[in-house]
Amino acid sequence: MAGAISSGPPTSTRTYQGLGQYLMLPSWVIIGFFLVLPVGMMLIYSFLTKEFRGGVIWEFSLSAYDQFFFDRGLFGDEPAKIEWTYITIFWRSIWQAALATVLCLIIGFPTAWFIATRSGRNKAILLFLITIPYWVNLLIRTISMKFLIRDTGPLNTWLIEFGLISEPLHMVNTNFAVQLGLFYSYLPFMVLPIYASVERYNNSLSEAAADLYASKFVILSKIVLPMVKPGIIAGCILVFVPSLGAFLAPDLLGGAKNFMIGSLIEEQFKGNAGNWPFGAAASMILLSMVLVVLLFYARAQDKGGQNHG
Amino acid sequence: MIKRMDAAIAVDIDNVTKRYGDFTALRNASIDIRDNEFFTLLGPSGCGKTTLLRCIAGFEDISSGAIRLYGQDIAELPPNKRPVNTVFQQYALFPHMNVLQNVMFGLQRLGKSDSEAKARAGHVLDLVQLTQLAERMPSQLSGGQQQRVALARALAPEPRVLLLDEPLSALDLKLRQAVRLELQQLQKETGITFVFVTHDQEEALTMSNRIAVISEGQLQQIGSAREIYEAPVNKFVADFIGETNLIDVDVKKITDGTATCLLPGGTKFSCPAAKGAHEGPGHLSVRPERVTIGKAKGSLITGTATRHIYLGTDMHIDINLQDGDVITARVQNSETANIPEVGDEVGISFEASAARLLVD
């Protein structure tokens, strides 16, 4: 039966016969080495006991998670209260990341639309311009941003020169600065996927809607947005997830008061003050939150897929 | 001016020009499309017929002239304010809505209540025989079914004029022929004025009340299928609509629409002349089915039979003239048909009413 069915060139099937199970090997190695192994290590470390000079003692312990959620006093002998410090940091991070996502969407969508509706040559140039900042290291760009917005920086100088303000605006080490840093760092991740879906959008759908008495607003909300939704969702995830774990922008622009998860985790692995299991536990909690977001995304995609048949 | 008040004119295209930069897509076109008419804009691709349709729909602004819809100048109206609907060439169905939602879209925009819109959409879907598929998504439909949805969607709001942009070009031949009849039937049933764009002359001839032939942005001729086929005004129309022989002649005299000319070989011949034809070198149009082949003696033109093309019901016979031109005759296949062998010397004849002197 099998012989009768195989109608393709016999050589190719024979060449790879028996090899089938090994052909996936490179993928498994990559996934194993770069995904399963580090995450697995993180997971194990989060359940170990901390060594005071950094590192871990190989002894099972829940204290990292306990420390994250509960306050048992300085010596750990008081009745457990809820520890708000880290939950607040997480909450602030989520809020900052969500805000950055919304801002990127508000600016990124029209930008992507503008680029996608230009003629071929201009389109290529504009796309190129969007990617140019990425040729410079994020650290350098974030420090430059700090320079731009500091009290004696060019932005304040110009604002004073133009007479818009009389005193320099204090921007460094504020939520605003963190927000600006996140927005600036991740805007292209919003623009590019939306651009890709707008580019595929068939403009005759807009014409058909206009022909059927739809106003500009109805065309946007009932036709365009549903059609480019996959790009928007992809862009939102690509901005939200790295914003949530970002540490450069909050570290350099936000200062100690505007701590985000990324900085918290980074601190646990830096120098002697660190607490590896605690950093690992915080990472695992962050990872679970990201997974929840991705799960929602997958479900939204699924529904969309069903609708599209 | 009085003509413009006439309610019988559905779309009054008055001296419309459309330019894109240096390129003139449409030059001084004036067409009156009558109420309740199946009107076709016919021409080769790139001739400006779709541009004109898009100007009526409002997707393009006109550079000069005016377009009036039942007497009302619509130049300032955006597409969503014009009481016309369009069936797009690639249908442009909304892929994220099912068939019913697609058909209801225009009705909802007009402020119809949900139940009203649903009833009307149901009626239109019934008209195009798609009731069974109302819940399907466009991607689950065949090309022919999608075409019907596009039609139903455009008909649902009861437009005063329905614009159809080559709606059959994406269908295969068999389906195309069936849909032609249905479209014609639908136009009669609904009483809506249809403006139909096509490059397919057979489509135009079989469906339309009247046809406007357009070439290179220039309106060539407006008339019924019969007028355009039998009395083409110029070389382009004669050549584009059906097949024809263009015979070089020397026009000696034109009086009262009758031309007297010398055929190749020198025979004197009189036949009707198109308005605007002039004396001197010119072309006669004679359809292949009106050419008869017989003995050289007593014929109008003589030549040599050079080729047979078998077409089933008919046979095309090419006859080479002395000057190198070729005249094709179409002969019906039958037991008694007089079909010359290749290489035979033959004579060609045609009636004066079968020939027409054209404007070059």
CATH no. of A85-308: 1.10.3720.10
For position A304, what pLDDT does the model report?
57
Shortest alpha-carbon distance between residue A98 and chain B (Å)? 28
Side-chain-facing half-sphere of B196: CA atoms under 13 Å: 29
Give the residue from chain A lying closest to B136, CA to CA: A309
* pTM of full prediction above 0.95: no
Q: Give tens-digit pLDDT for A125-149.
A: 999 999 888 888 889 988 888 888 8
Among A241-250, B128-137, B170-179, top mean pLDDT goes to B128-137
Backbone angles phi and psi of B245, in degrees to 5: -100, 130
Token pair 């998860």: residue:
A261
- Residues in chain A within 8 Å Cβ distance of B135: none
Give the residue from chain A lying closest to B163, CA to CA: A211
d(C-alpha B13, C-alpha A135), whole Å? 56
Q: Give tens-digit pLDDT for B289-331.
A: 999 998 888 889 999 999 888 888 888 999 999 888 899 999 8
Domains and their CATH numbers in chain B: 2-230 (3.40.50.300), 245-357 (2.40.50.140)
Residue B18 has pLDDT above 50, yes or no: yes
- Residues in chain B within 8 Å Cβ distance of A218: 109
- Residues in chain B within 8 Å Cβ distance of A227: 95-96
Backbone angles phi and psi of B140, in degrees to 5: -95, 5
Give the pLDDT band of residue A305 (cuts 50, 70, 90).
low
- Residues in chain B within 8 Å Cβ distance of A211: 57, 79-80, 84-86, 154
For position B20, what pLDDT does the model report?
93
d(C-alpha A26, C-alpha B176), whole Å? 52
Q: Rounded to 5 degrees, what angle do the CA atoms A8, A13, A16 make?
A: 155
Backbone angles phi and psi of B320, in degrees to 5: -85, 130
Adjacent-strand bridge partners of B357: B273, B284
Partner residue facing B96 (CB), from A204, A214, A308: A308
Q: Is B109 on the interface with A (CB under 8 A)?
A: yes
Q: Give tens-digit pLDDT for B75-113.
A: 889 999 999 999 999 999 999 999 999 999 999 999 999
Contact B303, B278 (CB under 8 A): no
d(C-alpha A251, C-alpha B25), whole Å? 61
DSSP label at residue A56 = E
Torsion of CA A273, A277, A278, A281, to 10 degrees: 150
C-alpha pair distances (Å), B301 with each of B195, B265, B349: 43, 6, 7
Partner residue facing B80 (CB), from A210, A222, A307: A210
Q: Where are the domains positioned within chain A?
A: 85-308
Q: Which helix (H) or strand (E) holds A82?
A: strand A81-82
What is the arithmetic mean of pLDDT over B20-34?
A: 93
Residue A223 has pLDDT above 90, yes or no: yes
Q: Return the residue in A197, A201, A207, A212 with the most chain B beta carbons within 10 A, the one to mutate for interface testing.
A: A212
> How crowded is residue B157: how many other Cβ atoms within 10 Å of its Cβ?
23
